[in-house]
Amino acid sequence: MAFLPYPGDVALTLWDFAFGGIKNDAFSGELWIHLAASAGRVFSGFLIAAAIAVPLGILMGRYRAVNALFDPAINLLRPIPATAWVPLVLLIIGIGDQATLFLIALSAFFPIVLGAISGSRQVPQRLIEGAQMLGTSRAGVITKVVLPASAPAIVNGLRISLGLAWVVLVLGETVGVRVGLGATISLARDIVRTDLIVVGMICIGAAGFLSDRLLIWAFRLLSRGRPLIK
pLDDT per residue as tens digits for the range 33-65: 999 999 999 999 999 999 999 999 999 998 999
Q: How many other C-beta atoms can be found within 10 angstroms of the C-beta atom of residue 229?
A: 15
Q: How many other C-beta atoms can be found within 10 angstroms of the C-beta atom of residue 177?
A: 20
pLDDT at 227 over 70: no
Domains and CATH numbers, the chain: 29-223 (1.10.3720.10)
User: Under a CB-based contact definition with an 8 Å cutoff, are residues 208 and 163 in contact?
Assistant: yes
**Average pLDDT value for the chain:** 88
Q: What pLDDT digit, counting tens, does each position of 181-221 carry?
A: 999 999 998 888 999 999 999 999 999 999 999 999 988 88
pLDDT at 224 over 80: no
Report which of 124, 89, 118, 117 is spatially closest to residue 103, judged by C-alpha positions: 89
Residues 6 or more apart whose Cβ sits within 8 Å of residue 134? none
pLDDT at 107 (0 to 100): 93
Span 64-86, average pLDDT: 92
Measure CA 61 to chain center.
22
Indicate the residue type of 163: G
pLDDT at 229 over 70: no
Residues 6 or more apart whose Cβ sits within 8 Å of residue 26? none
User: Under a CB-based contact definition with an 8 Å cutoff, are residues 180 and 37 in contact?
Assistant: yes
In this prediction, what percent of the chain has a pLDDT beyond 90?
Answer: 51
Tell me how far apart the 2 most distant CA atoms of the chain are, in Å.
71
Extended strands (E) in the chain? none
pLDDT at 221 (0 to 100): 84
Q: What pLDDT digit, counting tens, does each position of 128-182 carry?
A: 778 777 777 777 778 888 888 888 899 999 999 999 999 999 888 887 788 999 9
pLDDT at 154 (0 to 100): 92
User: Under a CB-based contact definition with an 8 Å cutoff, are residues 202 and 14 in contact?
Assistant: yes
Band of the pLDDT at 116, cuts 50, 70, 90? very high
